[in-house]
Amino acid sequence: AEALLRQFVARIFGDYVTERSLQRAIPSGGFATAIFQGSLQFRDDLELKPNILERLGIDVPFTLARGVLSAVYVNIPYGNIATRTSSVSIGGGGGVWGCGWAWS
């Protein structure tokens, strides 16, 4: 479950996050559940560009540089990575921007 989750996060964010940030994956019950509470940090030399968020299905018309993803909750049922429900809160640039998304 943890390996599946790490692949999921890596596919979305790639090198935008540090390896240390990925070490807090917490498998729980019948779900692979990750809670990166204040630990999923973007590398200082990269920016969170709109195309990264578009890969999440989020249309964002701006770039949030050196942001910190303050909380991520990702639930992936075993055997069906195509179904995901997630919420994200990004802090940086003088405020907190929140958004939720889901696939089915």
What lies within 8 Å, CB to CB, of 47 at 6+ separation is: 63, 64, 65, 66
Q: How does pLDDT run across 47-103, given as a tens digit for each residue?
A: 444 444 455 544 333 333 333 343 333 333 333 333 333 434 444 333 333 333 333
Spatial distance between the Cα atoms of 18 and 84, rounded to a whole number of angstroms: 23
pTM given for the model: 0.27
- How many whole angstroms from its chain centre is CA 67? 12
Structure tokens at 2: 């943890």
